[in-house]
A = this chain, B = another copy of it.
Amino acid sequence: MVLLLGGSGYIGSAFVTELHRRRIPFLSISRAEVNYSCFVTLRRLLKEAKVSFLINAAGSTGKPNVDICETNQAEALLGNVVLPKTVSDACEVAGIRWAQISSGCIYSGAFINDNGVVRVEKNLMCPPLKKLVALRPEVVSGYREEDPPNFTFHDLPCSFYSGTKALCEEVLAHDVNAYIWRLRIPFDEFDGERNYLSKLQRYERVYENVNSITHRGDFARACLDLWCGHAPLGTYNVTNPGFVMTHEVVDRIKRILNLSRDFSYWQNDEDFYRYAAKAPRSNCVLDTSKLKAAGVVMRPVMEAIEDSLFNWRSAD
């Protein structure tokens, strides 16, 4: 029996769909039903429900965005650090394997190959836009799983949200029974407040940057492929291979959804952080070769984006 925590959330619900599709018996329990934040309660649940694998998709992401975590610090720490620690300890005692949904937002930037010299560039912020021209795939490479996170409480400033997610990974470094599955900026074909493709359409102005991003359904499939395929435990970047610049995504949105409106862009970081955002934002590229080497295939990022837009289901 698989125990899914956070099954009603944006990512958790993708696991519900995929577990159903695969006919894998699972138990999706809400904290209102069973307070699994309590170590004793969670241990009892693991035993009584004969749980053999646990997926922790519960956490505190902040609504409408991570800025909320700057003021809801206790909630962010309880959801993103203390809960995973409780799960880790309980699974250790029960002798079962488990998976933590993590995030690539613990990195900022990418590796840039500058005429043969590879360096970390933490701020890929694009206005003036001409800076983007250089970001050809052969110039940019992403962070690998073993690269130390660089957008964390150890590398202030970071967003409080990213700080908690990085701390979670640091805490779980002791845990030899865990998968850590890293998502980045989820999207899919279902219009909604958590969908990146929807968010871009609703922003008054768009923030140009470079990111690896993840199709939500592809994510759940890839993660379960890792588990079902007995891939070695440990950390995996689970994003659609490649990276996108924001204007490329906007371009596809306009073209495929036939939008006639114009999108305007923040012209610099100063304005963006003065008017639209409070906490520093992670923008980064992740390397997905470990996932591929484990035999798990995900669609290239632009294919996943275009497919989502061709199958767009408007919320209206």
**Partner-B contacts on A (CB < 8 A):** 37-40, 71, 73-74, 77-78, 81-82, 85-86, 88-90, 92-93, 152-154, 156, 163, 166-167, 170-171, 174
21 A-B pairs whose Cβ atoms sit less than 8 Å apart in the complex: A37-B174, A38-B174, A39-B89, A39-B92, A39-B174, A73-B156, A74-B152, A74-B153, A74-B154, A74-B163, A74-B167, A77-B81, A77-B153, A78-B167, A78-B171, A81-B81, A82-B167, A82-B171, A85-B85, A86-B89, A89-B89
Residues of B within 8 A of A77 (CB): 77, 81, 153, 167
In the assembly, what is the distance between CA of A90 and CA of B85, in Å? 12
- Shortest CB-to-CB span from A59 to chain B, Å, is 16
B174 touches A73 (CB 8 A): no
Besides A71-B156, A85-B85, 7 more A-B contacts (Cβ < 8 Å) are A38-B174, A40-B92, A73-B156, A74-B170, A78-B171, A86-B89, A89-B90
A88 touches B154 (CB 8 A): no
Residues of B within 8 A of A81 (CB): 77, 81-82
- Shortest CB-to-CB span from A32 to chain B, Å, is 16
Grouping DSSP codes into helix (H, G, I), strand (E, B) and loop, the A interface class, with mixed when no group exceeds half, is helix
- Shortest CB-to-CB span from A240 to chain B, Å, is 30
Residues of B within 8 A of A156 (CB): 71, 73
In the assembly, what is the distance between CA of A33 and CA of B256, in Å? 62
In the assembly, what is the distance between CA of A166 and CA of B81, in Å? 15
Given the interface contacts A85-B85, A163-B73, does A78 sit within 8 Å of B39 by beta carbon?
A: no
Smallest CB gap from A177: residue in B: B40
Smallest CB gap from A93: residue in B: B93
- Shortest CB-to-CB span from A263 to chain B, Å, is 35
- Shortest CB-to-CB span from A282 to chain B, Å, is 16
Residues of B within 8 A of A153 (CB): 73-74, 77
Residues of B within 8 A of A40 (CB): 92, 174
- Shortest CB-to-CB span from A178 to chain B, Å, is 12
- Shortest CB-to-CB span from A147 to chain B, Å, is 17
Counting from the closest, the 4 A-B pairs by CB-CB distance are A74-B153, A73-B153, A89-B89, A38-B174
Smallest CB gap from A41: residue in B: B174
- Shortest CB-to-CB span from A90 to chain B, Å, is 8
